[in-house]
Amino acid sequence: MAARKAKARGSSERVRFEVDDANHWQPEPESFDVIWIMESSEHFPDKKHFFERCAIALRPGGSLDSLSKYRQWMHDVALTVTAAEDITRQVEPTWAQCSRLGENSVLKFLVRFTGGPTRRFVKAFPLMQEAYDKRRNGVWIICCKKAIAAVHRWRCGERRS
């Protein structure tokens, strides 16, 4: 969908979209201007390693934008947080709505014909709502930049302080 929209706007020569398995992603160093992660990083088993690969993949001055809560790990891999906003209260109503939908008799019937992952996802709606209600979960929009001065040190294995 994103590639079609870029083509329709005449941007397909300047834009590339990739969808990959974050657990096995091995990007070329300095091959991305922007990395956008949305509603997935909380599921990565090795988040720190993933953010390290993002920092290596970004070109100097590149941007990592994420819908997550892993601000410290971004800092740990020499990315500078340029903006961060807690949007938990805006996201929270989503799970109440999902819980209500999960109780719908038609949806309950249809979910029986789906695969295990979908059934587990729908079954988790009340747990997600409870996590938000008890302030155990949160969502942030975090924007980071890769500093131009830090590039050489990071590539040589040193961490910027």
Q: Would you list the DSSP string of 52-98?
A: HHHHHHEEEEEEEEEEES-HHHHHHTTEEEEEEEE-HHHHHHHHHHH
| Each residue's pLDDT tens digit, 71-124 | 888 888 889 999 999 998 998 899 889 999 999 999 999 999 999 999 999 999
Structural domain that includes position 73? 21-87+139-156
Q: Are residues 92 and 53 both part of a single domain?
A: no
Over residues 46-73, the mean pLDDT reads: 89
Q: Are residues 54 and 118 both part of a single domain?
A: no
Q: Are residues 81 and 113 both part of a single domain?
A: no
Q: Are residues 83 and 69 both part of a single domain?
A: yes
Query: Looking at the domain assignment, is residue 70 inside a domain?
Result: yes
Q: Are residues 95 and 125 both part of a single domain?
A: yes
What is the value of pTM for the model shown? 0.71
* Distance (Å) of CA 60 to CA 24, 54, 63, 111, 128: 23, 12, 9, 46, 38
Domain count, the chain: 2
Q: Are residues 55 and 126 both part of a single domain?
A: no
With CA atoms as reference, report the closest residue to 143 among 90, 92, 87, 94.
Answer: 87
| Each residue's pLDDT tens digit, 111-157 | 999 999 999 999 999 998 898 888 888 888 999 999 886 444 545 45
Q: Are residues 143 and 83 both part of a single domain?
A: yes
